[in-house]
Amino acid sequence: MSARPVKHSVTLHGHRTSISLEAPFWAELRAIAQDKSMPINALVAEIDAERGMDSGLASAIRVYVLNALKDRLPRSD
């Protein structure tokens, strides 16, 4: 598996934009979208709307995926 980012186009606010993420992030983002029964474009738009201007979209997606994975882990409280 390559650690090199893979570029994919998504439609965001009616415009095509390219996002570069590593393959495991793309795979998990697709799985999250499927679990939520929503198109990947809609999920990316949701992440974009919540990210603010302090981070880039690719970074916001990585953090979103990380948090989604962390939420699935059992807690040892």
Answer whether residue 35 is part of any domain. Answer: yes
Answer whether residue 45 is part of any domain. Answer: yes
Two tokens, residue 36: 């939520």
Residue 26 sits in a domain whose CATH number is 1.10.3990.20
Answer whether residue 46 is part of any domain. Answer: yes
- From residue 38, give the alpha-carbon distance in Å to each of 30, 42, 55, 75: 10, 6, 24, 27
Answer whether residue 48 is part of any domain. Answer: yes
Answer whether residue 30 is part of any domain. Answer: yes
Q: Tens-of-pLDDT digits for all 77 residues of the chain?
A: 557 899 999 999 899 999 999 999 999 999 999 999 999 999 999 999 998 888 899 999 999 999 999 988 877 65
Domain assignment of residue 41, given as a range: 6-72
Answer whether residue 29 is part of any domain. Answer: yes
- Number of structural domains, the chain? 1
Residue position matching structure tokens 């981070």: 55
Answer whether residue 77 is part of any domain. Answer: no
| pTM of the model as a whole | 0.87
